[in-house]
Amino acid sequence: MLYPQLSATRKIYNLNGVWSFKQGAYQPTKDSLLSTDTEAELMVVPTSFNDVLVDKDKRLFIGDNWYERLVDLPQLQENEELVLRFGSVTHQAKVYLDGELVAEHKGGFTPFEVVVAPQFLAKDQLKVTVCANNELNYTTLPVGNYIEKKNPDGSIKKVVKENFDFFNYAGIHRPVKFYTRPKAHIEDVVVTYELSEDLTTADVKVTVLSNASGLEQRLTILDETGQIVAQGTGNDVLTVQGVRLWEPLNAYLYTCRVELFDGEQLIDRYDEAFGMRKIEVKAAQFLINNKPFYFKGFGKHEDTHINGRGLNEAANLMDLNLLKEIGANSFRTSHYPYSEEMMRLADRMGIVVIDEVPAVGLFQNFSAALDLLGDKDEPENTWKVMKTKEAHEQAICELVNRDKNHACVVMWVVANEPSSHEEGAREYFEPLIQLYRDLDPQNRPVTLVNIMNALPGKDLVADLIDVICLNRYYGWYRDHAELADAKNNLRKELEEWHRLYPDKPVMFTEYGADTLPGYHSMWDIPYTEEYQCDYYQANHEVFDELPYFVGEQVWNFADFETNVMLIRVKGNHKGLFSRTREPKQVVRFFKERWTTIPNFGYKSGKN
């Protein structure tokens, strides 16, 4: 799906701002007006509604969250159509125009759009109503434990206990836009390229999806200065000489201009930025542009004060500036697809991204939720109780469709910490991993982020993926405050993975220790700033011994909001930065380490 862009043939109207809002029952009709409902209040778009409402029950409300506004309609040309587009609505959306249901979308982290049908364009004004439902259960991604409780008055209260370790923020999280496009238009652009062996020449193939027949497709590739470097039409392969590669922290983006012409008349134009780089996994190395890359970076969250999970572009830019400042080069979109705006920023700044679907919580009675669930029946087999296959397939399709052209994306994640050691895991994941491989026009590597319970030998899927990505907490959840034991056990486990899969690179996608800034100790006492440093030091000593260990992404970039749990002190505090992005002591330690580890050539691969 194309990101909305202004062009000679397309206009954009921003529908962000203040909308009417109500939780619970509302039936949009032709004449209804949410703003006149006695329970209606105001809400800003885009943002999570949770923290903005300043009321505990509303913050934790599960069910239908209604948004509505009136919009003055622009005048359209005879040959134009109007599209209503949402960057994301979390988690299930229903969209009504003048009270009529026109679109539904499941999944809270990917865009969707609907063409405004002609009957809605006859008036000057249109009523747009959106229902954002935030229920999660065993059919959705992420997975939630859905419970219904009885209120004293007999009514039902819906409750979702997250089967994952972040707060279930919801609402209209990303921009809402109207855009116009010609009725005969470009629907999608797929850019692939074949680089010569020395990476200096590229044969670029641009596949244009269009609903128009009989129009000429003109293709132009421009460099960053706007100079034309290749031109062609339709199915031509466009050859670019003297390629400037997209490199980590040294980005270079070309623009692929796609135009539809009727004779000499321009019908539609769309510019897609793209970078060229080569990704390959072999001999226990992760190669970018034929050079062994070392991942230095973070698992993150879309999480800021006030905005919750809503788009916060200033925070995004600040985070990537901090990421660069500390000497990092990458992040993982844990645990869901991040905004299109963030992906575009990463492309421009040369930040390497591991891209993840919201497949988190695929572990029945995941420990983070355990103390909330209380006395539950014995867990059954995850793969018998989860009914997430359909949602999972859809999430993969929509993610690849959205992010396929991004140079920053170097690998796909099929799931974070699923129960990959339980019977049925292989049958569940094999077709999903294959789906990524079938869909991705750039054939990027695919991984599954492994949980500590699925140790080598127990895990049932590692042979199907390209890179062994591990979330490990030796020195925190295991060997707590026993860093010498932590090192030994970590080394033992890594050696075992390498013995089983000698050709696959191994990396950490999570490791970390909760740390409360301002807590200090002469000794290695957990939660202190000193312990965080000692914890990382112990882990790094092991990483540095192993030639097949190709990356370290810490958990987490910043402290973030979670559900209330015994093991969470107003959120998860494993950040190197606080939630307000103030550095903990460990930041200096990382900066020293990461500015001395080169992006390329730090590890030699197999030993």
CA-based Rg of the chain, rounded to a whole angstrom?
25
Q: Which of 87, 572, 589, 594 binds ligand BDP (CB under 6 A)?
A: 572
563 binds ligand BDP (CB under 6 A): no
Closest CB 458 distance from ligand BDP, rounded Å = 17
Judged by CB under 6 A, how many residues of this single chain contact ligand BDP?
Answer: 10
* 356 binding ligand BDP? (CB under 6 A): no
Label residue 389 left, alpha or beta by phi (over 0 means left) and psi (-120 to 50 means alpha).
alpha
Report in angstroms how near the CB of residue 573 gets to ligand BDP at its nearest.
9
How far apart are the C-alpha atoms of 410 and 352, rounded to whole Å?
7
Touching ligand BDP, residues 323-352 (CB under 6 A): 335
**Taking CB under 6 A as the rule, does residue 472 contact ligand BDP?**
no
Question: Does residue 417 carry a catalytic annotation?
Answer: yes
Q: Nearer to ligand BDP by C-beta: 332 or 406?
A: 332
Q: Which residue, 218 or 574, has its beta carbon nearer to ligand BDP?
A: 574
Using CB under 6 A, which of 68, 165, 479, 552 touches ligand BDP? 165
Instruction: Closer to ligand BDP by CB, 164 or 412: give it.
Output: 164
User: Other CB atoms closer than 10 Å to residue 213's CB: what's the count?
Assistant: 6
For the CB of residue 470, give the shortest distance to ligand BDP in the complex, in Å. Answer: 11
Site string for ligand BDP, 492-531 (x = CB under 6 A): ------------------x---------------------
Name residues contacting ligand BDP, limited to 233-292 (CB under 6 A).
none
- What is the per-residue burial (b if ≥16 Cβ within 10 Å, else e) of 158-175? eebbbbbbbbbbbbbbbb
Catalytic residue among 113, 259, 398, 510: 510
Question: Which residue bears the tokens 């020293």?
Answer: 592
Q: Rounded to whole angstroms, how far apart are CA atoms 530 and 305?
A: 26
Selection from 28, 60, 63, 59 nearest residue 43 by Cα: 59
Distance of closest approach, residue 95 Cβ to ligand BDP, in angstroms:
31
The answer to whether 294 and 597 are in contact (CB under 8 A) is yes
DSSP H or E run through 471: strand 467-471
**Among candidate residues 296, 323, 354, 418, the one with its CA nearest the CA of residue 430:** 418
One residue of 47, 90, 304, 416 binding ligand BDP per CB under 6 A: 416
The residue (of 301 and 498) whose beta carbon lies closer to ligand BDP is: 301
Strand, coil or helix: what is 282?
A: strand
Cβ closest to ligand BDP, residue 397 vs residue 452:
452
| Contact indicator for 276, 195 with CB cutoff of 8 Å | yes
To the nearest whole angstrom, how small is the minimum distance from the Cβ of residue 354 to ligand BDP?
A: 13
Task: Please name which of 6, 86, 84 lies closest in space to residue 269, comparing C-alpha atoms.
Answer: 6
Please say which residue, 162 or 534, places its beta carbon nearer to ligand BDP: 162
Closest contact distance (angstroms) between CB of 416 and ligand BDP is 5
Nearest CA among 382, 338, 383, 330 for reference residue 356: 338
Q: How far is the CB of 232 from ligand BDP (least distance, A)?
A: 45
Q: Cβ-closest residue to ligand BDP?
A: 165
Q: Please identify which residue in 218, 300, 402, 574 interacts with ligand BDP, judged by CB under 6 A.
A: 574
When binding is defined by CB under 6 A, the residue of 64, 113, 340, 417 that contacts ligand BDP is: 417
CA atoms within 13 A on the CB side of 316: 20
- Considering 113, 302, 356, 417, which one is annotated as catalytic? 417
Q: Among 112, 336, 428, 555, which residue interacts with ligand BDP (rule: CB under 6 A)? A: 555
Between strands 285-288 and 291-292, the pairing is antiparallel
Per residue, what are the HEC states of 552-565? EEEECCECECCCCC
162 binds ligand BDP (CB under 6 A): no
User: Using an 8 Å Cβ cutoff, are 602 and 294 in contact?
Assistant: yes
Q: Which is nearer to ligand BDP, 167 or 548 (CB)?
A: 167
Where helices occur in 524-596 by DSSP H, the ranges are 529-543, 586-596
* Min separation Cβ 304 and ligand BDP, Å: 17
Distance CA 260, CA 460 (A): 49
Is residue 561 within the footprint of ligand BDP (CB under 6 A)? no
Residues designated as active site: 417, 510
Residues near ligand BDP (CB under 6 A):
164-165, 335, 416-417, 471, 510, 555, 572, 574
